[in-house]
Chains A and B, each alone.
Chain A
Amino acid sequence: MSAATLGVVETAAAVRAGRLSAVEVTQAALDRIETRNGAINAFTGVTADRALAAAAAVDNALRSGRDPGPLAGVPFAVKNLFDVNDVVRLSGSRIDAARPPATRDATLVARLESAGAILVGTLNMDEYAFGFSTQNSHYGPTRNPHDLSRVAGGSSGGSAAAVAADMVPTALGSDTNGSIRVPAALCGVFGLKPTFGRLSRSGTQLFAASLDHVGPFARSVADVAAVYDALQGPDPSDPACAGRPAEPVTALLEQGTAGLRVAVADGYFTGNGHPEVFAAMEKAAKALGVTRRIELPEPALARAAAMLITASEGADLHLADLKSQAASFDPMTRPLFLSGALVPAVWYVQAQRFRRWYTHKLAALFGDVDVILAPATPYPAFPIGQRMIEIDGRQLPASGHLGVFTQPLSFAGLPVLAAPIAGAGPLPLGLQIIAAPWREDVVLCFAAAAEAAGVLAAPSVRV
């Protein structure tokens, strides 16, 4: 049996059954990273010694009859804003590269390892997560595995590219405005942004605390679910973590979609992008038998409010460095942070008050619908270095506009899976599967059915 191209569930099953050792699987992942990362630039650090030691411990546990956990021997990597013990947390920056190494693991890194998974490295991102394209000036751009001349999306671009190129079967990222869903869509993998407050952010570099989420990437719905289940549970060290007990979804995936009321997001979500995106969206909706349309309340204002909160909170977090060493920031993010520091308080407070109004309106909407579908991005991956893009005759910032469809959803904290549309075209395209707060089970059950029907699938990469 070969460890290449195995997913999360297959790898864990093979290791637990003794068909593969965790050390073999881990070494194979390290070899793939060695071979493939040069072209893609997803990894900024590889934790080979730690990985091989952890894998040997999993194998020892199996030999001595102990349960190594549900994710035994599954290699994973994390966006480099997660704390990894003894590793400097870069958060995509040069400034933080001078700081001391972390003295512990982030909660979610520890949870995956206690489930038997093996951390193999850390992944590239936009500096301090402020961007949608992972064109990092310090560490180089992460390249899209489907076309190396194009962006991977961001800010968790390294996470999406590492999974798409099968360097690892799963990775963790963060999503404030779309930073899991955008790169997942552009790289053709699944990316879950759970409900705000579901997963602990403890031990991660925050960006805009009001909006920050963390979540997993993988190449199938079952793989996403298996990792998500291992990540859940309360954590008092993250004040935004809601403290809910784990609500595992893996056993529910084959429940089917009978009785689910599904609609496609209308209005705002049918424009502001390139025609191929809406054509792929329509084709997927038709294949799933979804004909109903639904309008979200004021999505453009939700995006505006998300932008103001993000800019303000992000700038405040980095204000001391902006004052003392602005030149050390990435030129891609420096002007974003600087302008965010100047947002008047009334704009920020109005945005937070609007969030309350919007959340109430959306809660009412979910009285009448269970699943909403929307495009994930307004266009597929664009060439690295491209600054502007044309939308309906207007020139818009190519990176900044990537969040047009994701921002109004994360702003409400809803659970959303970005999923690759099967056969979308030469470049991957994704759709968002959205449900009411805390209904990740509905999101993933619907996705599993759509995957089984052949509507969703991670396109393979020739590497």
Chain B
Amino acid sequence: MSQSPATPDDLQRYVEQTAAAIGLPIAAADMPTVVAIFATLARVAAPLMEFPLPEEAEPAPVFTAEGVRR
């Protein structure tokens, strides 16, 4: 079931607090643009997160146990 979409304030707080939590300083002058771009990512992510994927849709990592493809 869909939750209420995040508000602009929610996104602003998320950006500030997540950046702080991962030790990523964001200059005050950059903050409005970073929040706006993150809001775009959140907007396009919303329908993707709602999309019903089957369980067998697993990511396709390029991984081989020996590290490189022979």
Q: Which A residues touch B54, using CB under 8 A?
A: 357
Other than the given A236-B69, A338-B19, A339-B15, 10 more pairs (CB < 8 A) read A237-B68, A300-B47, A308-B41, A323-B24, A326-B26, A326-B27, A334-B30, A335-B33, A354-B53, A355-B60
Residues of chain B with a CB closer than 8 A to A293's CB? none
| Inter-chain contacts of A341 with B (CB < 8 A) | 19, 22, 24
Q: Does B5 contact A (CB under 8 A)?
A: no
Contacts of A359 in B (CB 8 A): 60
CA distance A8 to B33 in the complex (A): 44
Q: Are B37 and A336 in contact (CB under 8 A)?
A: yes
The distance in angstroms between the C-alpha atoms of A298 and B30, with both chains bound, is 33
- A349, B26: Cβ atoms under 8 Å? no
Interface residue ranges of A314-361 to B (CB < 8 Å): 319, 322-323, 326-327, 334-336, 338-343, 346-347, 349-357, 359
Contacts A335-B37, A352-B60 given; does A322 touch B68 at CB 8 Å: no
Residues B1-57 near A (CB distance < 8 A): 14-15, 18-19, 22-27, 30, 33-35, 37-38, 41, 44-45, 47-49, 51, 53-54, 57
With a CB–CB cut-off of 8 A, which chain B residues contact A241? Answer: 69
Q: A236-B70, A243-B69 are in contact. Are A303 and B44 (CB under 8 A)?
A: yes
The listed residue (B35, B41, B60, B68) touching A356 by CB distance below 8 A is B60
Residues of chain A touching chain B, judged by Cβ–Cβ distance below 8 Å, are: 236-237, 239-243, 298, 300-301, 303-305, 307-308, 311, 319, 322-323, 326-327, 334-336, 338-343, 346-347, 349-357, 359
Question: What would be 27 A-B contacts, judged by CB atoms less than 8 Å apart?
Answer: A236-B68, A240-B62, A298-B51, A300-B47, A301-B47, A301-B48, A304-B47, A305-B48, A308-B44, A322-B24, A326-B27, A326-B30, A335-B30, A338-B34, A339-B15, A339-B37, A339-B38, A341-B19, A341-B24, A342-B22, A342-B38, A346-B49, A350-B53, A354-B53, A355-B59, A355-B60, A357-B53
* Count of chain A to chain B residue pairs whose CB atoms are closer than 8 Å in the complex: 103
Minimum CB distance partner of A319 in chain B:
B24
Interface centre among A307, A342, A355, by most B CB within 10 Å? A342
**In the complex the two chains form, is B14's CB within 8 Å of A342's CB?**
yes
Q: CB within 8 A of B41: which of A343, A346, A357? A: A343
Min CB distance A227 to B, Å, is 24
With A335-B34, A347-B45, A354-B51 known to touch, is A342 a contact of B58 (CB < 8 Å)?
no
A interface: dominant SS: helix
Measured CA separation A453–B23 after assembly (Å): 58
* Bound Cα distance from A343 to B40, whole angstroms: 11
- Contacting residues, chain A, for B59 (C-beta < 8 A): 349, 352-353, 355-356
Using Cβ atoms and an 8 Å threshold, which residues of chain A touch B25? 323, 326
> In this complex, what residue of A is CB-closest to B21?
A342
A338 in contact with B41 given A305-B48, A352-B59 (CB within 8 Å): no
The answer to whether A339 and B34 touch across the interface, beta carbons within 8 angstroms, is yes
Measured CA separation A222–B27 after assembly (Å): 50
Partner of B27, one of A300, A304, A327, A346: A327
B27 to chain A, nearest CB (A): 7
Given A304-B44, A323-B23, A353 contacting B69 (CB threshold 8 A)? no
Q: How far is the CA of A311 from the CA of B42 in the complex (A)?
A: 12
Do A308 and B57 touch across chains, with their CB atoms under 8 A apart?
Answer: no
Q: Is the CB of B37 within 8 A of A301?
A: no
The one of B34, B57, B64, B70 that contacts A353, using a Cβ cutoff of 8 Å? B57
- Select B18's contact among A334, A342, A352, A357, beta carbons within 8 Å: A342
Q: Find B48's partner among A304, A327, A356 (CB 8 Å cutoff).
A: A304
- Whether A307 touches B41, Cβ cut-off 8 Å, given contacts A338-B34, A341-B22, A353-B59, is yes
Instruction: Point out the residues of chain B lying under 8 angstroms from A350, CB to CB.
Output: 45, 48-49, 51, 53
Q: In the complex, A349 Cα to B53 Cα: how many Å?
A: 12
CB–CB A304/B24 < 8 A: no
A209 CB → nearest B CB, Å: 8
- Say yes or no: A353 contacts B45, CB within 8 Å: no
